[in-house]
Amino acid sequence: MKITALKAGKDWQLIITAEDGRVGCFDVMPYLKDPKFIPLRARQQFIKFINGGSFIKWPCGANLPADIIEARWRVFEAKPVTI
């Protein structure tokens, strides 16, 4: 999966658009117990994500690879992509 768009949702969720047109939500909340993700408990740190295409990362060193996201996200829209 390649991430083409990314925005912060409420309650530590990320709204993600994939290259193939799928749009879904990924819940970061379960990861906030991990030491690398603890700084993201502050909303102002959470929203500083960087879209790497095949991963999402934060300045604190936390990151999520696209394969983990794809395995655990909830897709709520699938738009066909025109080429």
Question: What pLDDT shows up at residue 76?
Answer: 87
pTM: 0.86
Fold (topology level) of 3-78 = NE0471 N-terminal domain-like (3.30.2020)
Domain boundaries, the chain: 3-78
One pLDDT digit (tens) per residue for the chain, 83 residues = 999 999 999 999 999 999 999 999 999 999 999 999 999 999 999 999 999 999 999 999 999 999 999 999 999 876 655 55
Tokens in use for 74?
């909830």
